[in-house]
C-alpha cells in the first residue's frame, strides 16, 4: 500500500478533519492508488480522491473522475470501492459473455450516474457519505480556478480547509511498498547511466548518449522523466538538455537523471571523465562527494534539515571549494521529484524515520564544466541507508 494510514490519521486528528480530499495528481494516486493519466501529463483535468474517517481507521472511500478515464480505474489496483464519474464519453459495448475483468468493471461503472461537472460529482459524494456538515481538508493545487468556491456553494454547511501542506507532510514518511519502489527506480537509474557510459565513444553526441540512457530505463520497465546529460562546457549548464555536441577527449560528462517506476521517482547525479583523468576535477569531485557523505552520516531521525544543509556546505568548503554556495543540498523524493523535506538554510523540516531523500552537491564552472554528486537515501532508526552510490569519479577509456 502507498498510503501511510497511521500518519494520515494522526494528521487528520491534529487538524480536526472528518475527511480529506486529494486533487493534485500525486495526492490522488497516494490516497487511492489511482493514476489518472490526463492529470499527470497536463494541467487542468480533474480527478479527486476522498478519504473519510471510520473510527480509528481511514475509509478507502471514493474516486471522482471523468468518464473517459474509467478504463484506468477498472484496469488498476485501486484501493477504493466507490467511484463517481462526470462528463459523457462514448464507446460501444461488446458481448457480455466475452468481456474480460477490466471491461466488465468498466461497463459496471459506466452504468452509474453521470454528473455534468466534477464538482457536482464531488459534492454528491460528500453528501452521500453524510459529510455535508463536516470539517474537510482539501488540497487546492489540482483545482481549476473557481472550483473551490463552487464546492463551498454546493455544500454550504461543510467547512473546507486547505490541506495542501497536510498531505505533503503525510507523504514525507514512506511505507515499505513506497521504499521498495524508490529502491528499484534508483537501481534502474544507475543501470541506465552505466549503459550510457558503456556506449561512450569519441564523436558520440549528447543526444545519442541520452538515447542509450532512456532506452535502458524503458527496458527496465520505468518511464523516462529527467535526462540532463552534458559534455565538456555544456555540463556546466544547470538544466542541460542533450544536443548534437560531440564527445571529445578530456570532456567531463555530467548526468543529472532519473526515471519513474510504478509512479515513483529517481533523481541521481553522476560524473565521468572521457579519455583522460584530471587532477583538478578529481579534487573538486572529492570535495563534493565528501559533502554528500557527511550529509548521509548526519541524516538520521531528529536531525534538522537546516543543520544538515549548513554542515554539508561547510564540509565542501573545508575540502577545497572555498567559495561553495548552494540554496539547498537535497530534497525528499517519492511520487513527486521534490517531496519534503528540503535541506536548506531556512527549512523548518526535521528528518524522520521512513523519509527518502536525495543529498546533492552540484558545482558549476560556466564555460568549463559542471560537477555533481547526488544519491538517494532512506532514513532508518540507525541513520541513512544508501539506495544509490555515486562512488569515485569515473574515467571512461576512449
Peptide bond into 275 cis (omega under 30): no
Please tell me which residue, 99 or 356, carries the higher pLDDT value: 356
Predicted pLDDT of residue 100:
87
**Is residue 96 pLDDT above 90, yes or no?**
no
Question: What is the average pLDDT across 224-235?
Answer: 97
Walk me through the domains of the chain, giving residue ranges and CATH numbers. 5-171 (3.40.350.10), 176-396 (3.90.230.10)
Residue 58 pLDDT grade (very low, low, confident, very high; cuts 50, 70, 90):
low
pLDDT tens readout for residues 100-128: 888 888 888 888 899 999 999 999 999 99
Strand-pair partners of 265: 260
| Dist. CA 377–CA 332, nearest whole Å | 9
Predicted pLDDT of residue 130:
93
Nearest CA to 151 out of 74, 52, 48 is that of: 48
**Is residue 60 pLDDT above 70, yes or no?**
no
Q: Which of 9-18, 106-115, 286-295 has the lowest mean pLDDT?
A: 106-115
Mean pLDDT of all residues in the chain? 95
Question: What is the average pLDDT across 307-318?
Answer: 98
pLDDT tens readout for residues 144-175: 999 999 999 999 999 999 999 999 999 999 99
Nearest CA to 308 out of 329, 287, 288 is that of: 329
Predicted pLDDT of residue 97:
67
Amino acid at each position: 500500500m502507498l498510503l501511510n494510514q497511521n500518519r494520515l490519521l494522526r494528521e487528520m486528528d491534529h487538524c480536526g478533519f472528518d475527511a480529506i480530499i486529494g486533487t493534485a495528481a500525486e495526492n490522488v494516486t497516494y490516497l487511492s492508488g489511482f493514476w489518472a493519466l490526463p492529470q499527470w501529463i497536463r494541467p487542468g483535468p480533474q480527478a479527486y480522491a476522498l478519504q473519510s474517517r471510520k473510527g480509528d481507521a481511514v475509509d478507502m472511500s471514493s474516486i471522482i473522475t471523468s468518464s473517459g478515464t474509467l478504463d484506468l480505474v477498472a484496469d488498476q489496483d485501486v484501493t477504493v470501492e466507490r467511484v463517481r464519474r462526470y462528463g459523457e464519453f462514448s464507446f460501444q459495448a461488446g458481448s457480455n459473455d466475452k468481456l474480460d475483468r477490466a471491461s466488465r468493471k468498466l461497463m459496471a461503472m459506466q452504468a452509474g450516474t453521470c454528473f455534468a461537472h466534477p464538482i457536482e460529482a464531488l459534492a454528491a459524494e460528500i453528501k452521500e457519505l453524510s459529510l455535508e456538515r463536516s470539517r474537510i481538508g482539501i488540497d487546492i493545487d489540482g483545482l481549476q480556478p473557481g472550483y473551490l468556491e463552487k464546492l463551498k456553494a454546493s455544500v454550504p454547511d461543510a467547512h473546507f480547509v486547505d490541506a495542501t501542506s497536510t498531505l505533503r507532510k503525510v507523504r514525507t514518511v514512506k511505507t515499505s511498498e513506497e521504499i521498495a519502489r524508490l529502491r528499484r527506480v534508483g537501481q534502474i537509474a544507475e543501470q541506465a547511466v552505466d549503459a550510457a557510459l558503456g556506449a561512450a565513444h569519441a564523436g558520440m553526441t549528447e543526444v545519442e548518449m541520452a538515447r542509450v540512457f532512456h532506452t535502458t530505463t524503458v527496458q527496465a520497465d520505468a518511464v523516462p522523466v529527467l535526462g540532463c546529460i552534458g559534455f565538456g562546457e555544456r555540463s556546466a549548464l544547470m538544466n542541460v538538455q542533450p544536443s548534437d555536441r560531440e564527445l571529445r577527449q578530456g570532456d567531463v560528462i555530467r548526468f543529472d537523471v532519473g526515471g519513474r517506476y510504478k509512479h515513483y521517482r529517481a533523481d541521481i547525479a553522476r560524473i565521468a571523465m572521457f579519455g583522460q583523468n584530471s587532477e583538478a576535477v578529481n579534487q573538486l569531485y572529492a570535495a563534493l562527494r565528501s559533502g554528500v557523505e557527511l550529509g548521509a552520516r548526519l541524516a538520521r531521525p531528529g536531525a534538522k534539515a537546516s543543520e544538515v544543509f549548513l554542515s554539508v556546505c561547510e564540509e565542501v568548503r573545508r575540502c577545497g571549494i572555498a567559495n561553495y554556495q548552494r540554496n539547498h543540498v537535497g530534497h525528499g523524493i517519492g511520487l513527486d521529484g521534490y517531496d519534503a523535506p528540503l535541506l536548506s538554510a531556512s527549512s523548518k523540516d526535521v528528518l524522520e524515520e521512513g523519509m527518502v531523500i536525495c543529498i546533492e552537491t552540484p558545482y558549476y564552472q560556466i564555460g568549463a564544466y559542471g560537477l555533481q554528486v547526488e544519491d538517494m537515501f532512506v532514513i532508518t532508526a540507525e541513520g541513512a541507508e544508501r539506495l544509490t552510490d555515486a562512488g569515485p569519479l569515473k574515467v571512461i577509456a576512449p
